[in-house]
Structure 1
Amino acid sequence: MAELARLRHDEGVRLDPDALSAIYAELGERGAEKLIGRATEDLAGRLQDLRQSLAEGRATDLVRAARMLAQVGAQVGMTSVARVARDLIRATEAGDATGQAAILARLERIGQRSLTAVWDLHDMTV
């Protein structure tokens, strides 16, 4: 009898604390929290857009949403999110449907963990 292996996806995320510090230095605590809050909402919306675009086979929309997600991630120091979003763009432009699905699943996991990490980092510095 064959055994099934269950893979556990436990990947660390990378944040750029210098980017977050710069945001707080430039905008102050209230402004930085607003910016990060908007980025959080934008990240969630972009992930939904990505899922829908992939499901509907709209490659142009998927690339556009992934580019915006990469920009938002870079803006708030979510380097892992930005990097994986760029990976999704490359897979889409190469026509790699299997890669797209796998990378989008990874992006969703990393996105959630990055959001948590950003807020945890904020809590430690305040």
Structure 2
Amino acid sequence: MAQVTQCNWEEGVRLDSDRIIALYAKLGPAGAEQLISATMEDLAVQLSIVERLVRTGSGDALQAAIEGLLPLARQVGLPMLARVARDLIDCVQQENGPATAAVLARLMRIGDRGLTAVWDLADMGV
């Protein structure tokens, strides 16, 4: 009988703090916090939609939902999240179920950690 081992992968978040600083410089503290808050909320919702659509196998809607992550991730300085989202699009287009599941898991890990990192940076009033 084959043994299945679960790997718990720890991956650091790459946060483009210059993007957050630029938002504060351009919009001021109140405007930047409002934009970051709205974007983070949209990003969290979009991640949950992507996760649900991957599980239900909704092709075109899934690709559109993943593409919706890209500008949100870039806006709050999460380039790695955008890159992994593009990787997920590739997996979906290739109809590679195991790769899609693996990349989705990575997207969710990076998304969760990225949301926390951006909130922490914004809380410092950068």
How many residues in Structure 1 have an aligned counterpart in Structure 2?
126
For residues 48 and 124 of structure 1, what CA distance do their matches in structure 2 show?
27
The 5-angstrom pairing of residues 58-97 of structure 1 reads 58-97=58-97
Deviation of the 1:6 alpha carbon = 4.2
Structure 1 residue 122, shift from structure 2 partner: 2.5
Deviation at 1:123, TM superposition (A): 3.3
Q: CA RMSD in A?
A: 1.9
Match of 1:111 in 2: 111
Ranges of 4+ aligned residues in structure 1 off by more than 6 Å: none
Partner of 1:43: 43
Q: C-alpha offsets along residues 40-72 of structure 1, whole Å, 9 cap, x if unaligned?
A: 111111111112211221111111111110110
For structure 1, list consecutive stretches of 5 or more residues without a partner in the other structure.
none
What runs of 5+ residues in structure 2 fail to find an aligned partner?
Answer: none
Contact 2:29–2:125, Cα closer than 8 Å, also in 1: no
Specify the alignment match of 1:12 in structure 2: 12
Q: 1:75 Cα deviation (Å)?
A: 1.1
Letter paired with 1:97:
G
- SS across alignment from 1:54: helix
Alpha carbons 2:20, 2:77 under 8 Å: kept: yes
Greater relative contact order (Cα < 8 A, sep 6+): 2
Deviations 1:74-121 (A, max 9, x none): 111011111111111111111111111111111111111011111222
2:29 match = 29
User: CA separation of 1:15/1:59 partners in 2, compared to 1, >3 Å: closer, same or farther?
Assistant: same
